[in-house]
Structure formats: structure tokens, C-alpha cells
Amino acid sequence: MVPHFPGANPRERGSIKRDDSTGTSTTPYQRSRTRPPGRQTVVAACCLVLSLSAGVLAAVPSAPAEAKPPDPVAKKKQLDAQLGQQKADLDDASDQLGKSVAAYNQAETKYQAVQVRYAAAQGQLAAAKAADAVAAGKLAAAEAALRTAVADVEAGERLIAEKRAVAGRAVRSAYQQQNSLVGLSIALRGAAPADIATGMQIQRNVFGIQSNAITNLNNAQAELASRRVKVAAAEKASEAARAEAAATVERVTELTKQVAADKAEAAAVAKVKLVAFKAAEKEKNTELAQYNSLLRERARVEQLLIARAKAEKAAAARRKAAAEKAEREKARKEHRPPRNIPDPGGSGDGRLSYPVSSYITSPYGMRFHPVLHYWKLHDGTDFRAPCGTPVRAAADGVVTDKYYNGGYGNRLFVSHGVMDGRSITTVYNHLSKYKAHVGERVRRGEIIAWSGTTGYSTGCHLHFMVYQDGNVVNPMKWL
């Protein structure tokens, strides 16, 4: 009997929250979401799936104009297959990590939107302040023009008063002198002709002064009316400038409040973003620690199985050599050629059977972690297996180990000996319950356990692994 694995310490249970070897289904189905308390789960972030799917669509080259158009059904199948693989690749982030990253991305997006709004409000505020300065200038100019116009009107009114006084005196003088006997009295005085001419000139000068006074008065009144029109226009312009200035002041006040609110919101969102960033970093470090722990578990098992494979192959070679020697001796006694001796420990046709009657949800292979940004090995094949599904031995063999690991959950190892010259061990992970016990010999198709979602698992399924000569390989090579 092969001894139990050293190092499978039950005290290590819970040290790892998730088995990073699990994957997301390439064939959609609803896994059970019932999980033990305190265990994190895995979910592919929808935003990442959408971005990857967009990348797939963008990467499809367009057909040349002269080429036959591609079959849309075939193209859809191709894209569905690519999307299914990418969804499987996204299964490497735990629920909490995915939520933390999504929360950070959401906070970052909101922060950027608030920053844009804050910057726009600042720009509008600056423009409003500039408009306010222009409006204030217009108002000052309009009020200055109004004051000038009012002063002009007042000056015009004083001038009118002066002109009226002059015109009044001229009118009174003219009235007093408008006597038809004036010229006659000058002539009858017996004055000399030169004196008469001088008198007539004086009379004409008096009448000229009267006419000029009246004309000046009329002109002053017309100028005053024009200045009053300008005052009315200046008052209207000043009123419009005051309204514009008041509107810009109100706009500046509103924008100042908006800028302050946007700034406060930006600060609050920045705080939320920082908290989300720290949570995402914490989960990222946890995820990395879990993955490193898984690598150590895998390396430990491989070292043990490599040593075991060497011992099994050496023992098989010795058994075969002894059997061949016995066959040759028997053939010599029976006077016949010796028969071919098959490899001992072989099972059936050298192939493994499916451990569950289901389909593959995530294949073996390298995966790119969407958050940690490194390639990792999905070290087995995932089968759809709702909790409680019977898990069967893939071939005849001996149960060598069963124990709990924080990543792989409940594990069961079956050694199938040497098959086709290779030492083969199968491992069944995330089991809910064991049926076979260590040291028990089992037959192909015999129920050895039941599926579950123990360890770091996305949900009820079976993570099936194959070790060939102690090294993990693609199970499909043997199925």
C-alpha cells in the first residue's frame, strides 16, 4: 500500500480560500450557489467580459471585396467559442476581488465624470466672471453717458433760460421801438442827412440783435430737445446694462455654488475611490497569496508523485521481468514460443473513463488572470457536476490519499499504476463527501465520492486532474 501524503495537515484548512484551478463554464449552466459560510466565491466581472468580447469582435478581419462573404452562422459559432474561452479565463478572480475591482472602476469612472463636470463649471464660472466684468464696464459707461447727458440737459436748460432773458429784453426793446413815428421823428428833427443815415443804421442793428436773440433761443431749445432724447437713450442703455450686470452676478453666484458642490462631490468620490482601491489591493494581495499557496501544494504533490512513479515503474518492471522469465521457462517446458507479457497494473485499453456523466465546462490550459495580469495554469478539466453528483473511478486502481486543502477542497487520489508505460494517478477535487477510503482497491466506474464545492470554488463542479509520472498533464490525453 502506498503511504498517505505527508503534509496534508488539517490545520491548514481555510488557509486558502479558493482553488485557482477552477474555471468558468464554456457551456452556460446554472451552478448551485450554496456555499459554506465564510468561503469566497469566483465570478467573472461582466464589464471585463464585455470589453474582451468587444476586443474579439474588433479583431475579426473584414473580408476582401472580391472574397465570398463569410457564413454568419459559422462566424457566430467561432465568436461564441472565443467568448466562451475568454469567460473561462476570467474565472480566476474571486467574487470579492471582482466586486472590489468593479467598485474601484465605478468610483474611478464617477470621479472622472465629476472632475469633467467640475472643470466645465470652473470654465463657465470664469466665462461668467468675464461677462460680469464686461457687463460692469458697460454699466459704468452707460451711467457715465447718462450723467453726461443729464449734465448737458441741465446746461441746455440754463442756456435756454439765459437765451430767454436776452430774447425777452430784445422783444421788450423792439416793442418799445416799433413805432411808425420813429423814423419820421428822426427826419423831422431837421438833422443833417448824415445823421438821418446813422439813425437808420442804429435801428437796423437793434432789429438784428432782436432777431439773433430769438434765433439763438430757438437753437438752444432744439439742442435741449436733442439732449433730452440722448438722456432717454442713455437711461434705457443704463437700465439694460444694470439688468445684464444683475444677470451675470446671479449666474456667477450660481456657478460659484455649483463649483463648490462639484468640488465637494469630487472630494467625496475621491475618498470612496481610495477606499475601493485599498480594498481591491487587499483582495489582490489575498488572491496572489492564495495562488502562491496553490502552487506550493501542486509542487509538493508533484514531488511525492514523481518519487512514487519511479518506485511504481521500477516495481512494474521487476514484476514484468519476473513474469517474462516465468513465461519463458514455462514455454520451454511446453515446447512453444513464449507469449507476450502485458505491462502489469494496466487497466482496460489504457484509457481513462469520464469521472462523471456530464460535459466539460472549463478545459485544461494556461489562463491570463484579469486582475493580477499573469499567466497561470488551469491544472485540470472541470466537469459540470451539481452538488451530490456521483463521482466514479476513471480506471481500476488504489485510493492512496484523501484530505482537505484550502484551495482544492476535499481531494481524493487514485493510483492506477503503470498504464502504457506511464505511472498514472487521478485526482478528484472539491468533493462534498467521500465513499472510498485510503487503501481501498476500486474498479473503473465505481462510485468513490460525490461532487461538491469545497475549497476555493466557483460552485458545485468536479475539478479532475491527471498526474503522469508525477507531473500534471491535460486529462484529455487519457480520456
pLDDT of 77 higher than 50: yes
Least confident of 33-37, 218-222, 403-407: 33-37
Residue 110 has what pLDDT? 77
Structural domains in the chain, sorted by start:
345-479 (2.70.70.10)
pLDDT of 12 higher than 70: no
The whole-number average pLDDT for the span 72-77 is 58
pLDDT over 70, % of the chain: 68
Asked whether the beta carbons of 146 and 242 are under 8 A apart, the reply is no
Tens of pLDDT, residues 81-113: 555 554 544 444 556 666 777 777 887 887 788
pLDDT averaged over every residue in the chain = 75
CA-atom Rg of the chain in angstroms: 53
d(CA 394, CA 436): 13
Q: What pairing do the DSSP bridges indicate for beta strands 375-378 and 381-384?
A: unpaired
pLDDT of 228 higher than 60: yes
Q: Taking the model in full, what pTM does it have?
A: 0.52
Beta carbons within 8 Å of 43's beta carbon, 6+ residues apart: 93, 94, 95, 98, 458
Tens of pLDDT, residues 344-374: 655 556 789 999 999 999 999 998 877 777 7
Tens of pLDDT, residues 309-337: 898 888 888 888 998 999 999 999 999 99
d(CA 126, CA 145): 28
Least confident of 130-134, 186-190, 201-205, 475-479: 186-190
